[in-house]
Amino acid sequence: MSDTVPMRRAAQRPDAESQLRALERLETECRVRGCRLTRQRRAVLRALLAEGGALSAYELLERLRRVDSRCTPAGVYRALEFWMTAGVVHRLQSTRSFILCEHPEAPHPGQLLICRECGQVIEAEDKGVVAAAIRLGERLGFVLDRHLVELTGVCGPCRAQGRAGDSGRSPTT
Ligand SMILES: [Zn+2]
Ligand SMILES: [Zn+2]
C-alpha cells in the first residue's frame, strides 16, 4: 500500500557513528523536554542502540551488569518506564521485550512486524490499519488508548533462507 511508510529496515547492526548520532538525538530530545538523564537511563538506551533490535528486560540487565554490577532489575524497569513514557522505547507485548522507536520525536500510532525466526522488528505506519482499528473500536463501543499493533510472521530474508518455519499453519491469536 502506498501510504505505508516502513521506518525500520532489515536488521543491521548500526555502525558506531550512526549509533552515536542516534543517541545524541535521543538525549537532546530528552533535555529539550526537561528530563533528567540518569546513568541507568543512558545505559539502557546505549544497550538497545548497540543491539539494533529488541531485548527483554532480563537481557538488558545482563548487558548492563557487564559494565556496571550495581544495576538492578528495578532500576532497569524504571529506566524502561521512563523511556516508554517519553515515546523513545516501545514495549512488545507479544515477546515481552523492548525496542527503540524509529522516530521518537512525536507520539504516533503504528505497527510492529515481528519475525519469529530471527526476531527482527520492522516498525511501520500504515494509516489504513490505524483507521481500520479506530473504526473497529467505534463499532464495538471501544475508545482505543493503545494504537500500536503487533503482527508476527516470518520476514523476507528468513523466508529467502528457507527458514519459513511452520508457515503452513493457521494464524494463532
Ligand atoms: Zn515508534
Ligand atoms: Zn527473520
Residue-level pLDDT at 92: 94
Residue-level pLDDT at 159: 95
Contact 4, 79 (CB under 8 A): no
- Residue 79 lies inside a defined structural domain of this protein: yes
Residue-level pLDDT at 172: 54
State the distance from the centre of ligand 1 to the C-alpha of 3, rounded, in angstroms. Answer: 16
CATH number at residue 133: 1.10.10.10
- Residue 173 lies inside a defined structural domain of this protein: no
State the distance from the centre of ligand 2 to the C-alpha of 141, rounded, in angstroms. Answer: 36
- Residue 122 lies inside a defined structural domain of this protein: yes
- Residue 170 lies inside a defined structural domain of this protein: no
Coil, helix or strand for 27? helix
State the distance from the centre of ligand 1 to the C-alpha of 122, rounded, in angstroms. Answer: 10
Q: Give the separation between CA 132 and CA 7, rounded to whole angstroms.
A: 20
| Closest alpha carbon to 18 in 43, 60, 57, 49 | 49
Of the listed ligands, the closest to the CA of 88 is: 1
Tally of structural domains, the chain = 1
Of the listed ligands, the closest to the CA of 103 is: 1
Q: Give the separation between CA 78 and CA 73, rounded to whole angstroms.
A: 9
Range of the domain at 20: 4-160
- Residue 80 lies inside a defined structural domain of this protein: yes
State the distance from the centre of ligand 2 to the C-alpha of 33, rounded, in angstroms. Answer: 36
Coil, helix or strand for 26? helix
Residue-level pLDDT at 39: 86
State the distance from the centre of ligand 2 to the C-alpha of 74, rounded, in angstroms. Answer: 31
State the distance from the centre of ligand 1 to the C-alpha of 106, rounded, in angstroms. Answer: 9
Residue-level pLDDT at 26: 78
Residue-level pLDDT at 11: 46
State the distance from the centre of ligand 2 to the C-alpha of 26, rounded, in angstroms. Answer: 27
State the distance from the centre of ligand 2 to the C-alpha of 159, rounded, in angstroms. Answer: 7
State the distance from the centre of ligand 2 to the C-alpha of 77, rounded, in angstroms. Answer: 27
Those residues whose C-beta lies under 8 Å from the C-beta of residue 145, and which sit 6 or more positions away, are none
State the distance from the centre of ligand 1 to the C-alpha of 78, rounded, in angstroms. Answer: 19
- Residue 141 lies inside a defined structural domain of this protein: yes
- Residue 144 lies inside a defined structural domain of this protein: yes
State the distance from the centre of ligand 1 to the C-alpha of 69, rounded, in angstroms. Answer: 30
pLDDT tens, the chain, 173 aa long? 445 555 544 445 556 677 778 778 877 877 877 777 888 898 998 899 888 889 999 999 999 999 989 999 999 999 999 989 888 899 999 899 999 988 777 778 889 999 999 999 999 989 999 999 999 999 999 998 888 899 999 999 999 998 765 544 555 55
The one-letter code for the residue type at 1 is M
- Residue 167 lies inside a defined structural domain of this protein: no
